Structure 1
């Protein structure tokens, strides 16, 4: 953890969450409470991307001062350099995926690609979405494939496979989130 240069907020890197120098990290949501990461309960800037899949919602997350209740089957996306604060109950459960831009960067277009994903753009869409059961299960399935690959015995093509699985996860998350947001906009319009 380091102090941010543009403000006095602490800045967290993926390595602050796990000292193993990983650029891609998977974690159970409940682990955010049990990890000895003091900054999680206070406002801090993140130097990574994060996607939360909440199984049971027991708590809140603030993203750039916008408070979101963690709801069952909820999807929450946090972009690099956003300001985040967690208030999780001990019974919170779900999955969290953290990755750095160094991990996603395989060729010069990758950083442009991640920056054009609307899932992380709070100006175009909400950073939270309520998913249908099938959508949630599809993302959990991809999360589990990423976890299997991280734990695989073979190192052969691991980086390429993980990069491809992460991109597939992000594409599916964006598709589902945009579908949910469009559905909500249509409901609001018809009221």
Structure 2
């Protein structure tokens, strides 16, 4: 929905709502990955350039479609860092977190599901569940591991296995 300029006609349909939901989930997944990134002594990310792009989009008559496009570019870089193709320093990671959180919450007025309440409880429970699943996998108890994943999927929770362990997100 925010991918239309505020002066243009809004395409309000189920397809547009679904696309917005997928975009929101992708954005929030990127924010979650950002918080888990391993830092380096070198950075391939130019946080100032992202800030300049975000500011230019807002200065262009609050051009939210362009702003969101730049946010997704940042998410693409975040995913590249997570996959080991790019690097980020601790200072740049902190600055990027502050910048992205500021744009998402202060400018766009969005909040993640975790921010709406019970985040510590939900995160703690998910860590416990993923730890149990990891133990099942290390013991080659595939039936239990698959059952945990399937039950979480039924609750619209997606588990992604990676080289640094499993992560989770909402469908």
Shorter-chain TM-score: which interval?
under 0.3
TM-score, normalised on structure 2?
Answer: 0.28
Relative to its length, the structure with more strand (as a share) is 1
From the CA coordinates, give the structure whose radius of gyration is larger: 2
TM-score, normalised on structure 1?
Answer: 0.26
